[in-house]
A and B are shown apart, each in its own frame.
Chain A
Amino acid sequence: MRCPKRIKPIINLNTPMMTDKLILKGPANRIFRLLSILVLLVYIFCCSAVINPASAQMPTKTIYFLSGIRDHASPTVGGRHEVAKDMLVLQHCIDSVANIKGVKIITKYLPERSALNVDDLKGVDAVIVEASSVTSSQRRTHPIFPPLAAGAKYDKATLAYLNQIDSLQAAGMGIMMLHWGITAEGNLPATEHYLRWFGEAGHPNYTQNPLGYWIVTPIKAAAKHPILRGVKPWVYKDEIFSRLIVNPGDPYRTDLLMGESPETNQSEVGSPKNVISPRCIASAYEKGKQRGVLWGGMDFHSALLNENYLRFVLNEIVWVAGIDVPKGGVKTNAKQLQLAPINKTYEKTKIPEGYIEPKLPNTK
């Protein structure tokens, strides 16, 4: 058997390198040294970028704020059901967050989303939705659900799209909904998805939306839940969609807030007229990577001027996105907390002790 021919090395290691003979003198030498130092500095800079994880490998979280069309409450007075302006203020608050470290938050605002596919939601860590109910009108009011005529059923393509939302949430895209958008009574497929996403749903002729001054208190048993960090009881005027229904014994749901009101525009069986006795008004749902919350308040834009109210909502947004809620709750440097006038309607009902009149930051 013949041995293979020995391959002649391209570089003769015994031959002195060219640089050994390359001796520069005078100004050329200085230029070479300066160039060497420059190359070295660039190298060090690049290395530091790679080594410093805070800047190079900082995780990113993307939060989308989706608002529906504002088809409800007075268009001229303003300050209520401000689906777009609420979202813009909350986005601004998250963009100006002061105490979240180690994560880069990217936000995006999408008004009046009409897509029936999930292309625009891929890679998103949380969608925050404020809208009228999907059942509000035959126009599309809800960024996630298309309208459904009475007695009609979603077609296969729409059902498949909604199932894809399930998959996105199961994979870690948190979902949060605010105000009327949290109820889908009369739309069965939507109700089923709500139960899956949030472990709770509105129920026809049972779920209510009492409007009055609410006393809202964090539930003691949930005091360790991240969403309640830094959140104290508050009193504020609100229309809170509540009396949602849940599965008994559901290990994935944590009830967060109780609410009651001495006088509202609605009544309940067993209580004096217009009085709302304590009821659970907010829960958080966590099942594996899946996170979901419904917040039935957020009627009045001015609620965002209430410190605890705002903290609760910001904590919810951050938690839904899978970001660690900082100790003491989310703090923001945002200055413009109001994009609509303070709405003075419904102020003649009983006001509980502890109510603080909202004031714009620049007013005395």
Chain B
Amino acid sequence: MINFKQTIKTGVVAILAFTGSLALSQPALAQVPTKTIYFLAGNKDHVGAEGTGRHETRLDLVVLQHCIDSATNIKGVKIITKLLYKRDAVNIDDLKGVDAIIVESSSVTSQVTRTHPIFPGLAKDAKGYDKATLAYLNQIDSLQEAGMGIMMLHWGIAADSQNPQFNAARDHYMQWFGEAAIPAYTQNPLGFWKITPIEAAKKHPILRGVQAWNYKDEIFSRLMVRPGDPYRTDLLMGESPATNQSEVGSPKGVISPRCVASAYEKGKQRGVLWGGMDYHSALLNPNYLRFVLNEIVWTAGIDVPKGGVKTAAKQLQIARPNSSFDNLKPVDFVLK
């Protein structure tokens, strides 16, 4: 005779044992760490309407988010991404628990209205930020020190102004990135750039799989740093035979080799500024894209895979190609 109670007991034990063994046999699924990356785009207030291929603050980040979502060679970590457009918060409530914020925007100095996802604008006659805003910015300091990486792209990296009202922003840049723009010195030459990884930094994770590239860009550069800073690693040198700007000591339009990218790491704190990323089409250049993806991943505290980040993303362009300034290209300049 079948003992019904005994059968039920045996069945329950068997089910528990089976599910338990499943959980134990797949720790990767049960304990996979999560990294959360926020992409913050500021208002596109510069160089044409959205979709025209330059200063694409939102569309660039949409493509980069898509690339990270489709990363193929990052193992052992689950990456959660989110895009925030025109962030206007002056508190950190929405940034708590985030591992990296990737910001593309115009400079905080661009307008009195807010263009920058982190820094509010300032009225022309304002002496500086009020106490509440300064406290909010200090909280960003604390978040970064605790491990929230910060990366900024293009014009958003520069907070230089003759008006000292933005000194607080500059000071935070020095703290977050170990570098900052200074008025009447930092430049944004637009032309055909030759970018070369710095040999001494070749072991830095951001340079994994990154080879030299040549491409059209407006690169915010000649940022200033502290001498002897042990937390900064200079990553890329850039030069151009023909741009729309000049520098003392070089022929008109020529930009001699200058450092155009660094990485900053101090304890858990990570920060990078990338002054390029003017043209949306730059993301079609494999080395350019790999460099930017490596930066994002490194900023988030994720191990950059050997050979650099690879992505299965197919849609790398959601804006029109932009041929402005193509006339600057020297005949012998080879895109690569």
Contacts and interface: CB of A to CB of B under 8 A. Distances in A.
Interface of A: 188, 191-192, 195-196, 200, 203-206, 219, 243-250, 253, 255, 258, 269-270, 279-280, 283
Interface in B16-41: none
A245 B182 contact: yes
7 contacts: A188-B184, A206-B171, A249-B198, A249-B234, A255-B227, A269-B171, A283-B228
Nearest to A254: B227
B164 to A, nearest CB: 6
A203 B259 contact: no
A246 B226 contact: yes
A206 B248 CA distance: 25
Given A206-B174, A269-B171, A192 B184 contact: yes
A248 B228 contact: no
A258 B234 CA distance: 20
Contact of A280 (B171, B184, B228): B228
Contacts of A269: 171, 175
A255 B174 CA distance: 19
A280 B175 contact: no
B171 A249 contact: no
A244 B227 contact: yes
B185 to A, nearest CB: 7
Given A204-B164, A248-B234, A258 B228 contact: yes
B224 A247 contact: yes
A303 to B, nearest CB: 22
A280 B185 CA distance: 22
A280 B224 contact: no
A258 B230 CA distance: 11
B237 interface: yes
A17 B179 CA distance: 88
B310 to A, nearest CB: 28
Contact of A247 (B170, B183, B198, B222): B222
Given A188-B183, A249-B198, 18 more contacts: A196-B249, A200-B227, A205-B167, A206-B171, A219-B228, A244-B227, A246-B224, A247-B222, A247-B225, A247-B258, A248-B223, A248-B232, A248-B234, A249-B258, A249-B259, A253-B227, A270-B175, A283-B228
Contacts of B222: 247
Contact of A255 (B228, B232, B258): B228
Contacts of B65: none
Contacts of A244: 227
A219 B167 CA distance: 30
B179 A248 contact: yes
Contacts of A253: 227
A200 B227 CA distance: 8
A280 B225 contact: no
B57 interface: no
B262 interface: yes
Given A196-B248, A245-B182, A279 B228 contact: yes
Contacts of B258: 247, 249
Given A248-B179, A249-B198, A249-B258, A204 B167 contact: yes
A322 to B, nearest CB: 21
A192 B222 CA distance: 12
A356 B67 CA distance: 61
Complex A-B, nearest 8 residue pairs according to Cβ-Cβ distance, in ascending order = A280-B228, A249-B259, A245-B224, A280-B227, A248-B259, A249-B234, A255-B228, A248-B225
B171 A283 contact: no
A191 B224 CA distance: 13
A84 B114 CA distance: 51
Contacts of A245: 182, 224-226
B175 A283 contact: no
Contacts of B171: 205-206, 269
B99 to A, nearest CB: 22
A205 B225 contact: no
Contacts of A188: 183-184
Contacts of A243: 226
Interface in B246-264: 248-249, 258-259, 262
A246 B229 CA distance: 11
B225 A203 contact: no
Contacts of B175: 269-270
A37 to B, nearest CB: 62
Interface string B299-326: 0000000000000000000000000000
Nearest to A245: B224
A249 B167 CA distance: 24
A203 B179 CA distance: 13
A203 B225 CA distance: 11
Contacts of A200: 227
A219 to B, nearest CB: 7
Nearest to B162: A188
A248 B262 CA distance: 8
A32 B186 CA distance: 81
Contact of B225 (A196, A246, A279): A246
A8 to B, nearest CB: 66
Nearest to A258: B228
A182 to B, nearest CB: 13
A294 to B, nearest CB: 11
Interface in B153-190: 164, 167, 170-171, 174-175, 179, 182-185
Nearest to B179: A248
Contacts of A270: 175
Nearest to A193: B248
Contacts of B185: 191-192, 195
B259 to A, nearest CB: 3
A255 B230 CA distance: 12
Contacts of B174: 206
A340 to B, nearest CB: 31
A301 to B, nearest CB: 27
A270 B228 CA distance: 17
A206 B225 CA distance: 12
Interface string B227-241: 111001010010000
A246 B178 CA distance: 11
Contacts of B227: 200, 244, 246, 253, 255, 280, 283
B239 to A, nearest CB: 12
